[in-house]
Amino acid sequence: MTDNRPDSDAQDPWAEIRPYNDDEVAGVLARLTHEPELLDALTRFRLPRLSRVMPGLSRTLASLALRRQARGVASVRDFQQRIAGYMERMIRTSTDAFETEGLDALDDDTAYLFIGNHRDISLDPAFVNYALYLAGRNTVRIAIGDNLLKKPYVTDLMRLNKSFIVPRSARGKRAMLAAYQKLSSYIRHSITADNHSIWMAQREGRAKDGIDRTDPAIIKMMTIARRAEDRQASLGEAIAELRLVPVAISYEYDPCDVQKARELHALHSSGAYEKGQYEDIQSIVAGITGHKGRVRLSFGTPLDASFGAPDAVAAEIDRQVLEGYHLFPSHYLALEALGEAPELVDQSEVTDADRARFQARLQQVPAELRDWWLAQYANPVLNKAGRAPYDPAAEQDEQDQQAE
């Protein structure tokens, strides 16, 4: 991080992790329009040939374009209004439909802690925000891991878009505890004092295998602040105060499915996977621009104070996420292709066009990655039916043993 970002003080204890305030927007935008790394990243993406031949000119053009876009943006709301236009274009060009359910059952003026399954780095909370925007409600503050914020300009962009930082790189037990206490107090303050909703993933990292499960450690973190203030408070009281609402997002197709399959295959075959320097940024771009087919967003119901343990809270979130998860033809066709649980393959809504589209995508997947690719789509069917997920690693190990 650079020195010109806000510093912590008694009046602003969350300055290092919170989203930017309105009075910081102009300064951050001015900095970004002259940020060499951001300008280079934009020109590599939008003007690849010119950026190689005349990098100075391409950087100047990118700076001018950014300044034009930033004109008139004086608040976080202004910034998000600009984003809404890009979001509308993305939905129009890369999805076949976007549907929402359950939001109308939640109070318009109440803040909630939306906790959702996590499939795409940026789009999961972006679709939640767009649903809220269409409903005329305030958008959420978004939890984002500091592992994604290796470049200062990325941090700036995320914090302009109401992201707050989740510490994942702190080292040592004491440092991690202090970081989580600060994070927990910020989340609680946002919900109970600011009345400002939050989106968080149900676990660290995306579900690359199609298995959506809540990490109970996240539940423990959320409740630290309330229970530190009131030692007598039960976990259930701390949960009810935060108004947790599970959210399920379902994509017919994941633009990053091959990359996820490649990572899982590498972890199984060689025990390690080395991310490229710009891989997370590339995944964000691929998720935004790649074809997603149909997308469904389902809001659940707030959790009450009846829960006595983090595992019980996690189980209820899992139940609501699975209940709200929508199965598309791609999910059933993947299960069929694997030859698993044929009794669960529902073809009542699978058209010839669905099958042709699925086969065309499958043909583009390298042979050694196909089981890993198929598992991402098949596992939600198995999960909803209460069956054990399909594990390509176990299948491969069994085949290897038989071959011996």
For the stretch 377-398, pLDDT in tens is: 999 999 999 999 999 988 776 6
Sheet strand arrangement including 198-201: 95-101, 293-299, 244-251, 113-116, 198-201, 141-145, 163-166
pLDDT band at 49 (very low <50, low <70, confident <90, very high): confident
pTM of the model: 0.92
Per cent of the chain over pLDDT 90 is 77
For residue 87, is pLDDT > 90? yes
pLDDT band at 4 (very low <50, low <70, confident <90, very high): very low
CA-nearest of 281, 14, 275, 65 to 153 is 281
Which letter does DSSP use for residue 17 in this model? T
**Residue 38: what pLDDT?**
86
For the stretch 11-24, pLDDT in tens is: 899 999 999 999 99
The letter for the amino acid at 280 is D
| DSSP secondary structure string for all residues of 203-227 | SSS--TTS-----HHHHHHHHHHHH
Residue with tokens 């791609």: 330
**Residue 233: what pLDDT?**
94
For residue 8, is pLDDT > 60? no
To the nearest whole number, what is the mean pLDDT of the chain? 92
For the stretch 277-321, pLDDT in tens is: 778 888 988 999 999 999 999 999 999 999 999 999 999 999 999
**Residue 172: what pLDDT?**
87
Output the CA–CA distances (angstroms, integers) from residue 207 to 84, 216, 284, in the order listed: 26, 16, 15
Q: For the chain, give every domain's residue range.
A: 75-251+293-307, 256-289+327-404
- Rounded Cα–Cα distance for residues 172 and 47 (Å): 43
Which letter does DSSP use for residue 14 in this model? T
pLDDT band at 400 (very low <50, low <70, confident <90, very high): low
Least confident residue range of 164-168, 345-349, 366-370: 164-168
Which letter does DSSP use for residue 99 in this model? E
Q: What is the dihedral of CA 114, 116, 119, 121, to 10 degrees?
A: 30
- The residue with greater pLDDT, 14 or 1, is 14
For residue 6, is pLDDT > 80? no
Contacts 24+ apart (CB under 8 A), 47-52: none
**Residue 5: what pLDDT?**
44
In the predicted model, what is the mean pLDDT of residues 71-78?
94
- Rounded Cα–Cα distance for residues 202 and 199 (Å): 10
pLDDT band at 46 (very low <50, low <70, confident <90, very high): confident
pLDDT band at 402 (very low <50, low <70, confident <90, very high): low
For residue 10, is pLDDT > 70? no
